[in-house]
Amino acid sequence: MIKGKKIENLTYQCQYINNEMKEYQKVQMKILMDFYDIKTYYQKKKDSEVDKEEQNKLWKSYYKLKTATLDELIDLKKVKKQLLLEYVLVYHHPYIKRSKESISSLWKKYVMDNNSIGDDAAKIHLLFTDFIDELLRHVREEENTFFPLVALMEKEEELPDPHMLSYINEFTHDHDETMGMTNVLTSMIERDNEQKTNPELLTYYNSIQDFIRKLYEHIYIEQEILFPVYREQIEQLMRK
């Protein structure tokens, strides 16, 4: 991570972004640059032309992503929708796909390290497993149906596929059900007192809670920003 005086060196920053950051981190950086209206990296300005205050603000926000989500730091409605779509596809969807295995591994550790499994813990694990399987179905359907049609609509600017509005309605319904399920899981976790004395179970529950927090950002981006914009764009094209 860039520290100290290196934050003021534009060449070093560019090298760090291009060579050290993962793809989703690059998208996060592009979103922050778009929000703060910092075009330094695109225009390749000299160090002498860089606004140091803006640079510091940018990198301080980026550091905070270790413990915060983008929607907790900035107003994502002020960010270009193409960047948000890229973020959904490059970060959120792969994260959801990885999480089933990573969170399940914590459950396996809890099971191996304990002679008995609490009834509440077993119910929560079963519910979370079904929940994330449904999320994976939702993600696959978005990737295989709606988002390819969005890309075609953006490129061709022709009459959109008539099913696109139905997809938006379907995915909106999925999001509503997801929010309801996260509330149930959160409530069940808060009521299970075993986590107070069992560190493995606490770690497992914390991973679910962190997953839910990031899932809220995903739903917010699609539900409150992308879907309304696409709906309006589709309806306008269909009226032509």
In this structure, the answer to whether residues 208 and 133 fall within a common structural domain is yes
Q: What is the pLDDT of residue 1?
A: 46
Q: What's the pLDDT score for residue 136?
A: 97
Domain span at residue 190?
A: 80-239
Looking at the fold, whether 66 and 84 belong to one and the same domain comes out as: no
Q: Are residues 48 and 146 in the same domain?
A: no
Q: Are residues 19 and 122 in the same domain?
A: no
- Which has the closest alpha carbon to 91: 108, 76, 106, 107? 76
DSSP string, 171-227: HHHHHHHHHHHHHHHHHHHHH-GGGGT-HHHHHHHHHHHHHHHHHHHHHHIIIIIIH
Q: Are residues 97 and 191 in the same domain?
A: yes
Tally of domains in the chain: 2
- Domain end (from 73, 106, 132): 73
Count of C-beta atoms within a 10 Å radius of residue 53: 8
- In this structure, the answer to whether residues 173 and 120 fall within a common structural domain is yes
Q: Amino acid identity of 214?
A: K
Mark whether 142 and 180 lie in a shared domain.
Answer: yes
Question: Which one of 18, 50, 73 terminates a domain?
Answer: 73
pLDDT of residue 41: 57
- Is 231 in the same domain as 186? yes
pLDDT (tens place) for every residue of the chain, 240 residues total: 444 444 556 666 767 777 778 899 999 988 998 888 776 554 545 544 556 777 778 888 988 998 899 999 999 999 999 999 999 999 999 999 999 999 999 999 888 878 778 899 999 999 999 999 999 999 999 999 999 999 888 887 666 788 899 999 999 999 999 999 999 999 999 999 988 889 999 999 999 999 999 999 999 999 999 999 999 988 888 776
pLDDT, residue 52, reads 72
What is the pLDDT at residue 4?
46
Contacts 24+ apart (CB under 8 A), 172-177: 172/223, 172/227, 174/138, 175/219, 175/222, 175/223
Do residue 235 and residue 138 come from a single domain? yes
**Based on the domain organization, do 63 and 87 belong to the same domain?**
no
Q: Which two tokens stand for residue 224?
A: 């409150």
pLDDT the model gives residue 229: 94
User: What CA–CA distances, in Å, run from 19 to 15, 58, 75, 94?
Assistant: 6, 18, 28, 21
At which residue do the structure tokens 């225009």 appear?
43
Whole-number pLDDT of residue 58 = 83
Q: What is the pLDDT of residue 5?
A: 44
Q: Which of 73, 98, 114 is a domain's end point? A: 73
Residues listed for the chain: 240
For residues 20 and 89, membership in a common domain is answered with no
* Same domain as 97, residue 39: no
